[in-house]
């Protein structure tokens, strides 16, 4: 068998994982220790891992999370009103399969942005497409896209995501254009895909910040209908024991 020709054929078919695994078998002498079906399984597993890791890298880059985080890193305690079992259920992303939502409320610094980044990254690990947005930047960008004619394309991209994260919701009041954009985004997602909202404001204050009773009612009704809620408590986590500030929210 001409191994060079075999490798060239695999490379031409972009079977990069198989190429790596095939070379490894010759470098460490595995080929004499395993059966043909084991060799085939080894090569296929290597190719699957290679493609999964490439896709994961692209998903994580596209999502643009605020933090690189995992749920295992989240500090869980009764003082924070944060349940470990609930977080671990979020890590499975089963709630995304069911097109459910998550609402996380709490004061500044309690770790909302870190937690939503962690949940989002687990969704990427589970092969869901995710986009993270800071709300102020999102609506500012959408207004620019309205002006340059790319708004419809961006809304279509947002609609296509399995999960979007709206972080720092309600830090500033919504104007008319932002209210309508907000409603359009959530309208496209009801019963189809999932949304996470993190905010300092309890839901009852959303009416004031959205600024229009009808639109606020419509947005809240669509989001709340199938949502999990976390109300974070406790002191700011931006300070560690030495008194230095940590960027956790």
Which class for 247: exposed (0-12), middle (13-18), buried (19 or more C-beta within 10 A)?
exposed
> Domain limits of the chain?
3-62, 64-231
Percent of the chain with pLDDT over 70: 92
For residues 41 and 206, which has the higher predicted lDDT (pLDDT)? 206
- For 7-15, what is the mean pLDDT? 80
At 79-118, the pLDDT tens digits run 889 988 999 999 999 999 999 999 999 999 899 999 999 9
Interval 20-37 mean pLDDT: 72
pLDDT the model gives residue 30 = 61
Determine if residue 170 is left, alpha or beta; phi over 0 gives left, psi from -120 to 50 gives alpha, anything else beta.
left
The CATH superfamily of 64-231 is P-loop containing nucleotide triphosphate hydrolases (3.40.50.300)
Lowest mean pLDDT among 3-12, 91-100, 134-143, 151-160: 3-12
- Could you give the count of Cα atoms lying within 13 Å of 142 in the half-sphere of its Cβ? 22
pLDDT at 239: 58
Rounded average pLDDT over 178-201: 94
User: Can you spell out the DSSP letters for the chain?
Assistant: --HHHHHHHHHHTT-HHHHHHHHHHHHHTGGGTS-HHHHHHHHHHHHHHHHHHHHHHHHHHHHT-SS---GGGS---GGGT--HHHHHHHHHTHHHHTT-EEEEE--TTSSHHHHHHHHHHHHHHTT--EEEEEHHHHHHHHHHHHHHT-HHHHHHHHHT-SEEEEEEETSS---HHHHHHHHHHHHTTTTTSEEEEEESS-GGGHHHHH--HHHHHHHHHHHHTTEEEEE--SS-SSB-TTS-B----
For strand 194-199 and strand 101-105, is the pairing parallel, antiparallel, or unpaired?
Answer: parallel
Taking residues 213-231, report their average pLDDT: 92
pLDDT, one tens digit per residue, over 29-77 is 665 677 777 777 878 888 788 888 889 999 999 999 999 999 999 988 8
Q: Is the pLDDT of residue 204 over 50?
A: yes
Asked if pLDDT for residue 213 goes beyond 50, the answer is: yes
The pTM of the full predicted model, rounded to 2 decimals, is 0.81
């Amino acid at each position: 068998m001409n191994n060079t020709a075999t490798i060239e054929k695999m490379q031409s078919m972009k079977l990069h994982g198989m190429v790596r695994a095939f070379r490894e078998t010759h470098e460490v002498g595995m080929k004499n220790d395993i059966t043909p079906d084991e060799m085939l399984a080894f090569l296929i597993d290597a190719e699957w891992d290679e493609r999964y890791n490439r896709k994961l890298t692209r998903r994580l880059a596209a999502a643009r999370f605020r933090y690189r985080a995992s749920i295992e890193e989240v500090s869980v305690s009764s003082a924070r009103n944060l349940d470990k079992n609930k977080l671990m259920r979020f890590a499975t992303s089963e709630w995304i399969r069911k097109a459910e939502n998550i609402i996380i409320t709490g004061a500044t610094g309690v770790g909302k942005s870190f937690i939503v980044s962690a949940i989002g990254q687990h969704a990427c690990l589970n092969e869901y497409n995710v986009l993270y947005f800071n709300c102020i930047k999102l609506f500012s960008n959408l207004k620019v896209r309205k002006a340059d004619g790319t708004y419809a394309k961006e809304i279509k991209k947002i609609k296509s995501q399995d999960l979007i994260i709206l972080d720092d919701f309600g830090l500033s009041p919504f104007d008319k254009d932002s209210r309508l954009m907000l409603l359009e985004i959530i309208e496209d997602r009801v019963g189809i895909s999932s949304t996470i909202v993190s905010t300092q404001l309890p839901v009852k204050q959303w009416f004031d910040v959205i600024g229009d009773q009808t639109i606020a009612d419509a947005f809240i009704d669509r989001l709340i209908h199938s949502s999990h809620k976390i109300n974070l408590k406790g002191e700011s986590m931006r300070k560690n024991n030495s008194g230095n500030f940590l960027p956790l929210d």
